[in-house]
Amino acid sequence: MAKITLSIIKADIGSIGGHIKPSQKLLETVSNYIKEKGRGLIIDSYIGHTGDDIAILTTHKKGPSNPKIHKLCWDAFLAGTKIAKSQGLYGAGQDLLVSAFSGNVKGMGPQVAEMEIEERPAEPFLMFMADKTEPGAFNLPLYLAFTDPMHNAGLILSPKVKEGFKFVIMDVSYTKVDKIIELKAPEEIYDIAALLRDTGRFVVESIFSRASGEQVVSASTTRLHNIAGKYVGKDDPVMLVRTQKDFPATGEILSPYTITPLVAGFMRGSHNSPLMPVKKNTSISFFDGPAIVSCLAFCEKEGKLTESADTFDHPYWDYVREQAAQETQELRRQGFFGADMLPMSELEYTGVMETLKELEKRFKIRKK
Ligand code: F6R
Ligand code: MG
Ligand code: MG
């Protein structure tokens, strides 16, 4: 059986009209670069966008964190940035935080999700891309899809699925090296929940089947402001999920997106919004949001990809989108107040801090 690596590398390198979507020419530039320069290195590729982010999916046999694969994508983003600058796109090269490539794009700005798999006779998998949000946005959908029979009927009906899953969770506030914990579902689901509720700090990095030991999920964990030390846009995560047979079914993985979890990253990376499931190549609009997630389904054979099936392009999800829009309105009615705007620690602009510093000088202690 062939060992194949699936790699998603994604970045915001410039957008039309604000933070809306990349230009056609930008997408074509990245796509052509991968096709031309990836010859002999990769087996297949798919390039698409969600909001203002361009994601490159490649299949190859080089394993995760391969410098050649990472450099190919980095250079494709550099080529794209040149075009973005020439077109006057907004935020050209925004996510390319360092000037020289150093072997691995992790920690350089782009989001990365990779997985080496022992190919099954049929290999269905999902490519998730989110915009105007952070890696913790996948926490609740993953928790529900892998631990809760209300979403995953396989936990009751399939003996292999019932054996449960191992969650690898990262503390993303620790930036020196990776700090991770492994927890087992179902025995430790309350501990898993205790961590995953804190979406800004604890993020699911990967999930493994306990029946076979195989990897099922790989999600990106980079938090840009932890790298850059200042606001440079939200992190807009990507994720790979293998499905069916001894893993959750595609529909079980999708099921939790019905509840449109509240996530951080709306307007100026500083507000909460429901996570709206959208069709592929959807742009951003109202109040620079709301947070969106797309999900493309593929099958692959020896690295050759099928065309994508757009999982959220279905009448059922129109209804969910409408619900998400209503929830967004309810939240927006609160404006800057309460749960609408993020807490101080998560605000992506420093303006409030400066205002508070100035106002502090004007506070007086009243004499009794
Ligand atoms: C960017 C984002 C937007 C921007 C906003 C202001 O991903 O979420 O909401 O933060 O459009 O952008 P600047 O400060 O770049 O004009
Ligand atoms: Mg952006
Ligand atoms: Mg983005």
Sign of CA dihedral 28, 30, 33, 37: negative
Got the DSSP string for 346-359?
G-S-SHHHHHHHHH
pLDDT at 1 (0 to 100)? 65
Residues, Cβ < 5 Å to ion ligand 3: 12, 51-53, 131, 236
- Picking from 261, 246, 255, the residue whose alpha carbon sits closest to that of residue 151 is 255
Element (H, E) at 194: helix 189-196
Q: What digits encode the pLDDT tens for the residues 7-49?
A: 999 999 999 999 999 999 999 999 999 999 999 999 999 999 9
What distance in angstroms lies between residue 131's CA and the mean position of ligand 3's atoms? 5
Got the DSSP string for 136-171?
GGGHHHHHHHHH-TTT-THHHH-HHHHT-EEEEEEE
pLDDT at 349 (0 to 100)? 83
Mean per-residue pLDDT for 277-285? 97
Q: What digits encode the pLDDT tens for the residues 208-242?
A: 999 999 999 999 998 766 666 665 656 899 999 99
Question: Percent of the chain scored above 70 by pLDDT?
Answer: 97
What distance in angstroms lies between residue 55's CA and the mean position of ligand 3's atoms? 11
Closest residue by Cα to atom 2, ligand 1, is 268
Pick the catalytic residue: 12, 52, 131, 288? 12
* Residue 331, phi then psi, degrees to nearest 5: -65, -45
Closest residue by Cα to atom 3, ligand 1, is 268
pLDDT at 344 (0 to 100)? 84
pLDDT at 290 (0 to 100)? 98
Q: What is the Cα–Cα distance from 63 to 51, expressed in whole angstroms?
A: 29
Q: Is 37 a catalytic residue?
A: no
Element (H, E) at 296: strand 292-301
pLDDT at 273 (0 to 100)? 97
Point out the ligand nearest to the CA of residue 10: 3
pLDDT at 232 (0 to 100)? 60
What distance in angstroms lies between residue 310's CA and the mean position of ligand 3's atoms? 20
Residues 6+ apart with CB under 8 A from 131: 50, 51, 52, 53, 236, 284, 291, 292
Of ligand 1's atoms, which has the minimum distance to the CA of residue 348?
A: 10
Q: Is the pLDDT of residue 139 over 80?
A: yes
Q: Residue with structure tokens 């025995």?
A: 187
Of the pLDDT bands very low, low, confident and very high (cuts 50, 70, 90), residue 177 is: confident
Q: Is 231 a catalytic residue?
A: yes
Residues, Cβ < 5 Å to ion ligand 2: 12, 19, 52, 233
Q: What is the Cα–Cα distance from 137 to 221, expressed in whole angstroms?
A: 11
Q: What digits encode the pLDDT tens for the residues 59-117?
A: 999 999 999 999 999 999 999 999 999 999 999 999 998 888 989 998 888 999 999 99
Of ligand 1's atoms, which has the minimum distance to the CA of residue 131?
A: 7
Q: What digits encode the pLDDT tens for the residues 317-361?
A: 999 999 999 999 999 999 999 999 998 888 878 888 899 999 999
Top pLDDT among 155 and 235 is at 155
Best probe residue, ligand 1, of 12, 16, 19 (max atoms within 8 Å of C-beta): 19
Of ligand 1's atoms, which has the minimum distance to the CA of residue 266?
A: 8
pLDDT at 133 (0 to 100)? 96
pLDDT at 169 (0 to 100)? 97
pLDDT at 120 (0 to 100)? 97
What distance in angstroms lies between residue 286's CA and the mean position of ligand 1's atoms? 12
Q: Is 106 a catalytic residue?
A: no
Q: Which stretches within 14-138 are classed as H helix?
A: 24-37, 67-86
Of the pLDDT bands very low, low, confident and very high (cuts 50, 70, 90), residue 286 is: very high
Closest residue by Cα to atom 7, ligand 1, is 233
Of ligand 1's atoms, which has the minimum distance to the CA of residue 265?
A: 8
Top pLDDT among 176 and 35 is at 35
Q: The tokens of 60 are what?
A: 């190859």
Cβ < 6 A, ligand 1 pocket: 18-19, 132, 233-234, 267-269, 288
Give me the chain's average pLDDT, please.
Answer: 95
